[in-house]
Amino acid sequence: MAVPRFLRWLIEDWWLKLIALFAGVFIWVFAKLELEYTRQVKIALDFSLLPREYVVVESEVDSIVVEVKAKGRHLLNMWRFKRKDTDPRIIVPLGKAKEGEERIRIGPENVELPEEIRVLALNPYQVDLRIERRADRRVPVIVKPEGLPAKGFAAYDFTHERDVLIYGSQEDVHSITQLFAEPLNIEGVAGIKDTSVILERYLAVEIPEDVNLFVEPSSLLVRFTVEPKAEKVLDDIPVRLKGTPPRGQVYLSDEKVKLTLEGPRSLIEGLSKDEVQVTVSVSALDTGRHKVPGVFSLPPAIQLKNAEPESFNIRVR
């Protein structure tokens, strides 16, 4: 069966045709990148020139639409520039600003962009700000673990810098007594068999949405220990009565309890009876027979796996 002429032409010297195709595409892209284009980009305001004793508590806008013109390759470089740590920004001229209401004019000279890109217009070209004297204080940060380590491992001894510096308006600063870090995800975290390891995580400090505050540092380094779990059985733990019933005398039928505990191996191995307490609250009991659950007070990172018994027979008469 004869091969069609068009297919024969397509297959013949296919690699030369492929090179020609790539060359054509390259030339077309290069020509497009050399043309000039006008684009609008939204750029954030930067208040870093404001004297340290003041803070911007209210701004009608937090970014400005900037009309720019440049060759395509320079606009492409601007997009790459935006993906770096330092984004394009508009540095608001606040060096001489004072407390109160301020209307600040923004010009092309305030826009921080590569020099090959020309600024044509800004919308808006001025911003209204309310400036107050800065207040600051140190507040504690709470870190909450989330999830469970891998099977057979325990995570404990969570440590971090306890407080951070917050600053902003007097009203917002004094309304905050503590902050939270983003949850510490320990789901599936595993260590090394027969030994403990110390892991580190950076967590961002969360700021409530209804306040305008700045935080230093904005993230915390949290350290915690991961090591294999172990079990330990403690017999003859005394049961203590807590409180006094409104009337009558209390009789406890089970005065001792057997506990099966688990936790990090290094903590479990050194655990003694004196570090564990079992109490039964009787202050709300009336006369008669009752079955009351126990309250088990354990050291940090130690968990109760089983108790014999879990509830206790109480008689009040």
The residue assigned the tokens 């001489």 is 96
Rounded Cα gap, residues 80 and 87, in angstroms: 10
Closest CA to 57 of 128, 130, 115, 116: 130
Q: Which residues contact 26 (CB under 8 A, 6 or more apart)?
A: none
CA-CA-CA-CA torsion sign (69, 71, 75, 78): negative
The CATH code of the domain that includes 280 is: 2.170.120.30
Rounded Cα–Cα distance for residues 114 and 133 (Å): 34
Amino acid making up residue 103 = R
pLDDT score at 248: 85
pLDDT at residue number 85: 46
In this structure, is residue 6 part of a structural domain?
A: no
* Residue 28 covered by a domain: no
Domain boundary among 91, 109, 133: 133
Neighbours of 158 (CB within 10 A): 17
Do 75 and 98 lie in one domain? The reply is yes
Per-residue pLDDT of the chain (317 residues; tens, 9 = 90+): 555 666 666 666 666 767 777 777 777 776 676 778 788 888 889 988 988 888 888 888 888 898 988 887 777 777 665 544 457 888 999 888 888 888 889 989 998 888 888 888 999 989 999 988 989 999 999 999 999 999 999 999 999 988 999 998 888 899 999 999 999 999 999 888 888 899 999 999 999 888 888 899 999 999 999 999 999 999 989 999 898 888 888 888 888 899 999 999 999 988 999 999 999 998 888 889 889 899 999 999 999 999 999 888 888 88
**How is residue 307 written in tokens?**
């108790």
Ramachandran angles phi, psi of 106, nearest 5°: -115, 130
> Which of 99, 105, 88, 85 has the alpha carbon at shortest distance from 42?
88
Q: Are residues 39 and 128 in the same domain?
A: yes
283, part of any domain: yes
Domain that holds residue 299: 229-316
Give the tokens for residue 79: 């997009």
| Boundary (domain end) residue, out of 133, 163, 194 | 133
**What HEC string does the chain produce?**
CCCCHHHHHHHCCHHHHHHHHHHHHHHHHHHHHHCEEEEEEEEEEECCCCCCCEEEEEECCCEEEEEEEEEHHHHHHHHHHHCCCCCCEEECCCCCCCCEEEEEECCHHHEECCCCCEEEEEECCEEEEEEEECEEEEEEEECCEECCCCCCEEEEEEECCCEEEEEECHHHHHCCCCEEECCEECCCCCCECCECEEEEEEEEEECCCCCCEEEECCEEEEEEEEEEEEEEEEEEEEEEEECCCCCCCEEECCCEEEEEEEEEHHHHHCCCHHHCEEEEECCCCCCEEEEEECEEECCCCCEEEEEECCEEEEEEC
State whether 127 and 38 are in the same domain. yes
- Beta-bridged to residue 38, according to DSSP, are 69
Classify 173 in phi/psi space as left (phi over 0), alpha (psi -120 to 50) or beta: alpha
Domain boundary among 188, 212, 228: 228
Tell which residue, 264, 254, 252, has the closest CA to residue 298: 264
**Count of the separate structural domains present in the chain:** 3
Residue 14 falls within a domain, yes or no? no
CA dihedral 77, 86, 96, 50 (to 10 degrees): 150
Same domain, yes or no: 219 and 243: no
- Choose among 224, 228, 243: nearest CA to 285: 243
The model's pTM is 0.66
Is the domain of 150 the same as that of 173? yes
Domain assignment present for residue 75? The answer is yes
The pLDDT of residue 317 is 85
What is the rounded distance in angstroms from the CA atom of residue 169 to the CA atom of residue 30?
Answer: 52
Q: Does 270 lie in the same domain as 216?
A: no
